């Protein structure tokens, strides 16, 4: 007999997502992913000056402010055929990389680790055995008995004070929780340490972007960071060297903690390398442009159809027509008027809410396709595409993580294991290490270029009469993001954002093929339909961020106590 | 004592952005003592933990949909502030509740907290505040100035009268 599970909203994500599953004989047989808020950025931007679009797009989402700003200026520059100075590319790249590192660490430790780590069990651990385990995994200097014992005491105090409620969705003692008390305690210790490290890497974004959470230094045509090695009010060598210190500090945490923890979770939950693959066509764009035109990149990208790495096709430049012509969005199952599949430049935004209809319209999210098929995006797509492109550093980290997993699990775990729920976590850690490498490289290139006497950061844009069309892409923490703009006589005529969570959370498309979330849930075992931890594990592994996939309609009405009306 | 005045919300959804709009207005009208920091937090979450943990006193400003007449301003204090964000009546509560939870664990939660919440009228797509929330915003500005004055950190009015002439920064 089949049973329905509805999780609404999925917590520990930004935005509102509703997942409905049909469970039969302990397994998910059907799934629906439904975004419950509507986004109207396209309407706000219509008729505005294209030079200020990025200021508004970075307000779409609280987690991805920076990424929408970057994609927006790239889209307008693309429409104008405008190149930007080399310094501007490097400064943007450093902001992107630092933001990505911050985002991946927060996601693993603070938004998803509690799906795998049982904090209550960690109290039963022996801190000495935990320290020994930590020291076996890596040379991390903060895996000492004292630090682990202090973390355990903090945890005990938190539980004693009854404040564990802040983790309202924690499934303590769930049958699918399998880590030993020692592994749980080690992970909990790193959870606390990660809070410190993510703060420090976010300072890089704040220094270069002038402010965080909303960076101020972008401009269509470059960046607004004046460079003058002799002036204190500009980007000085002193500030650049402080940034270098911050970059160096986080490196050890990524390599000795994050990558090791992911490998340990992968090894102890080896069954999850066979769960949650879903859509195995992968799309990722190249990023970290190395020249003014955006025709060479530090990190490659492309498209892998049907999980077949040998059929990888590279996306080569900011002007790439294979990417430009391959992206479409459909609304057959979305709350918009009609039933069409269109290129982003041709889309219109006409909302029409019908309520949840499982065979009809059931989501505010549209269904994107690449060359007519759904595609999975995100760090896994990114890492697999870089692997397929023969990117050496990617191959090195993939091999290292898989070797650690194999040795802990006591059996050989290969690349195919990455097509899974746990594979998405592993890929995110690998990508974090690659971003850290490129952050250091971009820093060096910027310093070298300034050393050669090049201080340029901005090429002023000019808007010709008539119509121009542009697209800007960015490989964001949650996957590839593209902004599409049509400019007429210097004003925005149409603007569409095709965002990572639209690719992944999208409903069935025009051909009724399931989106990546939906497909990844089919076949997932469910131990207890009242506590569907397994569904959360797979959905969280994508790092959902629905705030920009759609936007808001509803505010809940609920009285709270002890407020004073002024 | 370090004070953080943090306005949160989404400016693309009319009244939802009232927290950010209030911070903008405060910055334009007053000069603040060095110990007072103003921040437009947008809808960010964990990115705010640095700023929050550096504060001894946190003044949060946000839209709060609780079924009161639109424009109503409420004041919430102390432990009820994190509790408010957990009861999910602020539309972007996820970010703030995450960050307050994290600060609780690390022991970085500011010693005292005040939330000024305002009942929204419209959360439709758009950049402008409704007239009634605009009026409520003035109440919050007054309350924030009083709050700071009570703490011994009064802001300096930039639109001040010197010899009958308006001096505007």
Q: Give yes or no for a contact between A538 and A21, defined as CB atoms under 8 angstroms apart.
A: no
R_g of chain B computed on alpha carbons: 16
pLDDT of residue A9: 66
Q: What is the pLDDT of residues A64-83, one digit of tens each?
A: 789 999 999 999 999 999 99
When scoring B61, B125, B126 by the number of chain A Cβ atoms within 10 A, the one with the most, hence best to mutate, is B125
- Asked if B139 and A566 come within 8 Å (Cβ–Cβ), the reply is yes
pLDDT of residue A528: 86
| Residue B89 pLDDT grade (very low, low, confident, very high; cuts 50, 70, 90) | very low
Q: How far is B116 from chain A (nearest CA, A)?
A: 9
Parse chain A into domains and list their residue ranges: 19-31+40-105+214-529
Whole-number Å distance between alpha carbons of A327 and A546:
20
pLDDT of residue B84: 75
Q: End-to-end CA distance of chain B, in Å?
A: 26
Q: What is the pLDDT of residues A223-265, one digit of tens each?
A: 999 998 777 777 888 899 999 999 999 999 999 999 999 999 9
pLDDT of residue B106: 80
Residue B93, pLDDT above cutoff 70: no
ipTM: 0.84
The widest CA-to-CA distance across chain B, in whole angstroms, is: 53
pLDDT of residue A37: 59
pLDDT of residue B167: 44
pLDDT of residue B9: 87
Q: What is the pLDDT of residues B38-79, one digit of tens each?
A: 999 988 888 888 899 999 999 999 988 888 999 999 999 988
**CATH number belonging to the domain at B3-167, selected among 3.40.50.1450, 2.30.30.20, 3.40.50.150, 3.40.50.1820:** 3.40.50.1450
Structure-model confidence comparison of residues B155 and B45, the more confident one: B155
A565, two tokens: 């009306």
- The CA-atom distances, in angstroms, between A56 and each of A44, A78, A84, A473, A475 are 8, 19, 21, 17, 20
What CATH topology corresponds to A19-31+40-105+214-529?
A: Cytochrome-c3 Hydrogenase; chain B (1.10.645)
Q: Give yes or no for a contact between A68 and A483, defined as CB atoms under 8 angstroms apart.
A: yes
Query: Mind telling me the catalytic residues of A?
Result: 14, 61, 64, 68, 478, 501, 545, 548
pLDDT of residue A175: 87
- Asked if A102 and B92 come within 8 Å (Cβ–Cβ), the reply is no
Whole-number Å distance between alpha carbons of A44 and A495:
9
- Asked if B66 and A560 come within 8 Å (Cβ–Cβ), the reply is yes
Which whole number is the average pLDDT over A459-466?
A: 97
CB < 8 Å to A198, chain B: 46, 49
From the list A12, A62, A199, the residue facing B92 with the nearest CB is: A62
Q: How far is B150 from chain A (nearest CA, A)?
A: 17
Residue A357, pLDDT above cutoff 70: yes
User: Strand locations in A109-242, DSSP E?
Assistant: 218-219, 222-223
pLDDT of residue A42: 80
- Asked if B89 and A558 come within 8 Å (Cβ–Cβ), the reply is yes
Which whole number is the average pLDDT over A207-214?
A: 88
Calculate the average pLDDT of chain A.
90
Q: Which residue in B has a C-alpha nearest to residue A200's C-alpha?
A: B50
Residue A212, pLDDT above cutoff 90: no
From the list A56, A110, A562, the residue facing B46 with the nearest CB is: A110
Residue B90, pLDDT above cutoff 80: no
Residue A362, pLDDT above cutoff 90: yes
Whole-number Å distance between alpha carbons of A245 and A238:
11
- The CA-atom distances, in angstroms, between A495 and each of A76, A180, A318, A413, A539 are 10, 50, 18, 44, 29
Which whole number is the average pLDDT over A294-309?
A: 97
Residue A173, pLDDT above cutoff 90: no
Q: What is the pLDDT of residues A424-440, one digit of tens each?
A: 999 999 999 999 999 99
pLDDT of residue B169: 40
Least confident interval from A76-85, A174-183, A284-293: A174-183
Whole-number Å distance between alpha carbons of A310 and A284:
16
A245, two tokens: 């210190």
Count Cβ atoms below 10 Å from residue A532 Cβ, excluding itself: 24
| Residue A395 pLDDT grade (very low, low, confident, very high; cuts 50, 70, 90) | very high
Q: Which residue in A has a C-alpha nearest to residue B125's C-alpha?
A: A40
pLDDT of residue A348: 81
Residue A479, pLDDT above cutoff 80: yes
User: Which residue's structure tokens are 């009228």?
Assistant: B121
A260, two tokens: 């090791």
Residue A398, pLDDT above cutoff 80: yes
Residue A321, pLDDT above cutoff 90: yes
pLDDT of residue B160: 59
| Cα-based torsion angle of the residue sequence A371, A377, A379, A381 in order, rounded to the nearest 10 degrees | -30
H helices of A302-391, in order, are: 321-326, 379-388
pLDDT of residue B73: 95
pLDDT of residue B164: 46
Peptide bond into A213 cis (omega under 30): yes
Structure-model confidence comparison of residues A555 and A495, the more confident one: A495
Question: For residue A558, how far is the Cα from the chain centroid?
Answer: 32
Whole-number Å distance between alpha carbons of B115 and B123:
20
pLDDT of residue A112: 87
Count Cβ atoms below 10 Å from residue A93 Cβ, excluding itself: 26
Least confident interval from A245-254, A380-389, A390-399, A536-545: A536-545
Q: What is the pLDDT of residues A120-130, one digit of tens each?
A: 899 999 999 99
Least confident interval from A199-203, A242-246, A484-488, A544-548: A544-548
pLDDT of residue A261: 96
CB < 8 Å to A555, chain B: 63, 65, 89-91, 120, 123
pLDDT of residue A442: 98
């Amino acid at each position: 007999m089949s049973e329905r599970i509805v999780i609404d909203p999925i917590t520990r994500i930004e935005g509102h997502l509703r997942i409905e599953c049909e469970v039969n004989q302990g397994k998910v047989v059907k799934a629906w992913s439904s975004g419950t808020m509507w986004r109207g950025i396209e309407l706000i931007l219509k008729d505005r000056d294209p030079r200020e679009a990025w200021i508004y797009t970075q307000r779409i989402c609280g987690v991805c402010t920076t990424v929408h700003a970057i994609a927006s200026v790239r889209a307008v520059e693309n429409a104008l055929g405008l190149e930007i100075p080399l310094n501007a590319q490097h400064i943007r790249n450093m902001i992107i990389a630092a933001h990505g590192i911050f985002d991946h660490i927060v996601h693993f430790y603070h938004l998803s680790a509690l799906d795998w780590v049982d904090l209550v069990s960690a109290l039963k651990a022996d801190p000495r055995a935990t320290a020994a385990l930590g020291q076996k995994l890596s040379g991390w200097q903060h895996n000492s008995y004292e630090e682990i014992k202090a973390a355990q005491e903090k945890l005990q105090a938190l539980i004693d004070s009854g404040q564990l409620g802040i983790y309202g969705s924690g499934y303590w003692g769930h049958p699918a929780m399998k880590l030993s008390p020692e592994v749980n305690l080690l992970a909990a210790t790193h959870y606390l340490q990660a809070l410190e490290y993510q703060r420090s890497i976010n300072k890089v974004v704040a220094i270069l972007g002038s402010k965080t959470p909303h960076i101020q230094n972008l401009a269509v045509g470059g960046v607004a960071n004046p460079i003058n090695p002799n002036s204190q009010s500009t980007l000085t060598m002193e500030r650049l060297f402080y940034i270098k210190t911050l970059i160096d500090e986080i490196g050890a945490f990524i390599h000795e903690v994050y990558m090791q923890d992911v490998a340990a979770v992968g090894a102890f939950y080896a069954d999850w390398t066979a769960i949650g693959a879903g859509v195995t066509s992968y799309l990722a764009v190249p990023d970290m442009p190395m020249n003014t035109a955006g025709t060479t990149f530090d990190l490659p990208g492309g498209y892998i159809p049907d999980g077949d790495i040998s059929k990888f096709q590279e996306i080569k430049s900011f002007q790439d027509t294979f990417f430009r012509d391959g992206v479409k969005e459909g609304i057959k199952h979305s709350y918009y008027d009609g039933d069409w599949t269109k290129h982003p430049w041709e889309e219109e935004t006409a909302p029409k809410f019908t309520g949840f209809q499982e065979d009809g319209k059931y989501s505010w999210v549209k269904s994107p396709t690449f060359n007519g098929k759904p595609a999975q995006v995100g760090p896994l797509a990114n890492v697999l595409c870089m692997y397929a492109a023969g990117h050496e550093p990617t191959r090195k980290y993939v091999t290292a993580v898989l070797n650690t997993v194999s040795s802990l699990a006591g059996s050989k775990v290969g690349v195919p294991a990455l097509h899974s729920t746990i594979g998405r976590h592993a890929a995110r850690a690998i990508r974090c290490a690659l971003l850290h490498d490129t952050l250091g490289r971009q820093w060096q290139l910027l310093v070298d270029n300034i050393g050669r006497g090049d201080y340029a950061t901005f090429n002023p844009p000019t808007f010709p009469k008539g119509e121009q069309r542009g697209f800007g892409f960015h490989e964001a923490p949650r996957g590839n993001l593209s902004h599409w703009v049509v400019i007429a006589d210097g004003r925005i005529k149409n603007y569409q954002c095709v965002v990572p969570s639209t690719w992944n959370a999208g409903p069935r498309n025009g051909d009724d093929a399931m989106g990546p979330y939906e497909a990844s849930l089919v076949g997932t075992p469910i131990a207890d339909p009242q506590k569907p931890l397994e569904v959360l594990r797979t959905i969280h592994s994508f790092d959902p961020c629905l705030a920009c996939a759609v936007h808001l309609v509803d505010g809940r009405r609920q009285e709270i106590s002890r407020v004073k009306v002024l | 004592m370090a004070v953080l005045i943090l306005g949160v919300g989404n400016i693309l959804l009319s009244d939802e952005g009232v927290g950010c709009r209030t911070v903008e207005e405060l910055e334009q009208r007053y000069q603040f003592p060095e110990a007072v920091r103003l921040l437009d937090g947008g809808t960010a979450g964990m990115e705010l933990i640095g700023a929050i943990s550096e504060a001894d006193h946190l003044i949060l400003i946000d839209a709060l949909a609780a079924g009161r007449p639109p424009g109503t301003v409420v004041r919430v204090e102390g432990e009820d502030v994190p509790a408010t964000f957990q009861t999910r009546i602020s539309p972007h509560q996820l970010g703030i509740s995450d960050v307050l939870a994290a600060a609780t664990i690390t022991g970085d939660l500011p010693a005292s907290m005040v939330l000024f919440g305002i009942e929204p009228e419209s959360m439709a797509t758009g950049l402008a505040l409704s007239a009634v929330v605009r009026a409520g915003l003035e109440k919050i500005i007054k309350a924030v100035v009083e709050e700071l004055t009570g703490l011994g950190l009064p802001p300096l009015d930039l639109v001040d009268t010197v010899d009958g002439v308006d001096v505007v920064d």
